[in-house]
Amino acid sequence: MILERIYDLAEPRLKERKIKDVRVGLHLMSVELDTGEIGVTYVLRKELGDICMHFRQVGSLIGMPAREVAEWSLERKNVISTSLGLAVLNSAAEFDKLKQINNPQGVDAAFSVEIRDTDNIGIIGHIGPIINRLRDKKDRMFVFERGDNVNGQVYPESEEQKLLPKCQVVFITSSTLINGTLENVLNYCSNAREVVMVGSTTPLYPEAFTASGVTVLSGTRWLTSNKDSIFENISQCAGMKQLIKYGQKVSVRI
């Protein structure tokens, strides 16, 4: 499993580290380590259920060993603890060692791969920025989301197995790591030339994705100098559109 590989890579960097601060907002959550590194992940609101009644760590997160919280990403008890664990893993990525894609149009996921006129494009999750940038290709685009078909423009998750094999380029929300659907989605991308993991949840650990089918990781490095702004905005229900100015977009090829 990819999450296990990520944890194995991050674990040596998490030894002796503790959680310094945590924010869980309406759209995003963030974790700060006692060394200042920051990790951000999405909150899967539609999949919360009655988690607030069962999250027993409330009030005791600050000061917990970072490695212990990171292990929650593997336990998959609920989407909140899994997200917090993944945020810790994201904070420990070795950003300075990453070799970013050199693209004159920028490091946005939509510019990180070549898209040919004949390509079918799959998008897992209603990723607005990707859809908007590729709107001129909407006739060859399949957008998938959990739930029912929306106005004939979004396909339900149940259609992925049939339609994804027709796609040459696929963008996948990294929230699939939180709800445990990533491996299934990758199995359906059997004819994809490029598979791009997208979003702030993206763990920037290229080695963990070797031979997985993923070709590009497109995520964010959150600047420690912007910590106060990041945490304050998340506390006030900020989404990625409001938060991205406090980070640096990063795209790396596997």
Mean pLDDT of the chain: 91
Domain boundaries, the chain: 2-93+221-247, 109-219
Q: What are phi and psi of 18, to 5 degrees?
A: -130, 165
* CA gap 64, 82 in Å, rounded: 16
Which fold would CATH assign to domain 2-93+221-247?
Enolase-like; domain 1 (3.30.390)
* CA gap 71, 77 in Å, rounded: 11
Which fold would CATH assign to domain 109-219?
Rossmann fold (3.40.50)
Confidence label for 103 from pLDDT (cuts 50, 70 and 90): low
pLDDT tens readout for residues 43-81: 988 777 655 545 667 678 999 999 999 999 999 888 899
pLDDT score for 49:
67
**Token pair recorded at residue 24:** 């869980």
* pLDDT at residue 192 tops 70: yes
Confidence label for 156 from pLDDT (cuts 50, 70 and 90): very high
pLDDT tens readout for residues 145-155: 986 555 557 99
Rounded to an integer, the average pLDDT of 186-197 is 97
